[in-house]
C-alpha cells in the first residue's frame, strides 16, 4: 500500500490531514511531530510521499528535507511543504531545501491537494471525465 508520512507539530493538523488523505486514496498513513522524528520514522517505513510542515520544534522542515535528500534511501521521496507560512520567500526556501511543491495552510481546496498528491505518486486521476469527453 502507498505510504504517506505527515509531519506537523500541531496534532490537530495531523488529524485533519490524515482524515482528508484517507479519502483521497487508499493510503497507509504515519505521523511525526518534528523533523528529527520524521527522519527516524521515514528511515524505517520508507514512505512514498512526505507532507512536511516547515516550522517545528527540535528540527524544522527545511533541515529535515535537506537531510533526507542527502540519504541514499530518501533522496527520491517527494516532499510537499504544507505550511502556515504564506510568503513567496518561504516557498522559495522550501523549494531550495528540496521540497517539490508548496501548499499554504489553511488548505481551502482539498480536491486540488488530492490531485497534486496523486500526481506526485504517479497515480491515475480518479474516473471522473468531463461530460463532453464521455463516449457517446
Partner 1 sequence: MEERANIMVVDDEVGPRESLKLILKPYYNVITVEKPTDAIAMLDHVPVDLVTLDLKMPGLSGTKVLEKIKQHDPDIEAIIITGYGSMDTAIEGLRLGAFDYISKPFDVNHILTLIRRALQRRQAKMELKNVKSEFLANISHELRTPLSVVIGFVSILLDQLLGQLSEQQQKILERVYKNSGELLELVDNVLLLSSLNAGDLTLLNEAFDARVMLDECVKRYENLVRDKKITVNIEAPEKLPTMGDRAKSARITQNLLHNAIKFTPDGGNITLKLRESPEQGMVELDIIDTGLGMPEQQIERLFQPFQQMDSSIRRQFSGLGLGLTVARRLTEFLGGSLQIKSRRDVGTHVRFTIPQEPAPQNVVARHTV
Task: Give contact residues for partner 1 (rule: CB under 8 A).
Answer: 10, 12-13, 16-17, 19-20, 23, 55, 83-90, 105-108, 110
Q: Which residue has the cell 493538523?
A: 13
Q: Which residue has the cell 509531519?
A: 7
Q: C-beta of 79: minimal distance to partner 1 in Å?
A: 19
Report the residue number, 43 or 84, with the smaller CB distance to partner 1.
84
User: How would DSSP label each residue in 74-126?
Assistant: TTTS-EEEEES--SHHHHHHHHHHT-SEEEESSP--HHHHHHHHHHHTTPPPP
- SS3 at position 20: helix
Report the residue number, 44 or 108, with the smaller CB distance to partner 1.
108
Q: C-beta of 133: minimal distance to partner 1 in Å?
A: 19
Q: C-beta of 106: minimal distance to partner 1 in Å?
A: 3
Amino acid at each position: 500500500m502507498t505510504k504517506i508520512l505527515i509531519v506537523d507539530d500541531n496534532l490537530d493538523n495531523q488529524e485533519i490531514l490524515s482524515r482528508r488523505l484517507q479519502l483521497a486514496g487508499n493510503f497507509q498513513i504515519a505521523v511525526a511531530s518534528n523533523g528529527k522524528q520524521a527522519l527516524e520514522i521515514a528511515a524505517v517505513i520508507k514512505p512514498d510521499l512526505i507532507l512536511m510542515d516547515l516550522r517545528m520544534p527540535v528540527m524544522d522542515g527545511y533541515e529535515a528535507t535537506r537531510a533526507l535528500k542527502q540519504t541514499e534511501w530518501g533522496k527520491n521521496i517527494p516532499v510537499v511543504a504544507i505550511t502556515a507560512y504564506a510568503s513567496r520567500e518561504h516557498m522559495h526556501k522550501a523549494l531550495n531545501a528540496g521540497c517539490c511543491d508548496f501548499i499554504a495552510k489553511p488548505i481551502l481546496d482539498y480536491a486540488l491537494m488530492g490531485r497534486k498528491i496523486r500526481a506526485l505518486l504517479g497515480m491515475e486521476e480518479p474516473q471522473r471525465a468531463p461530460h463532453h469527453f464521455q463516449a457517446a
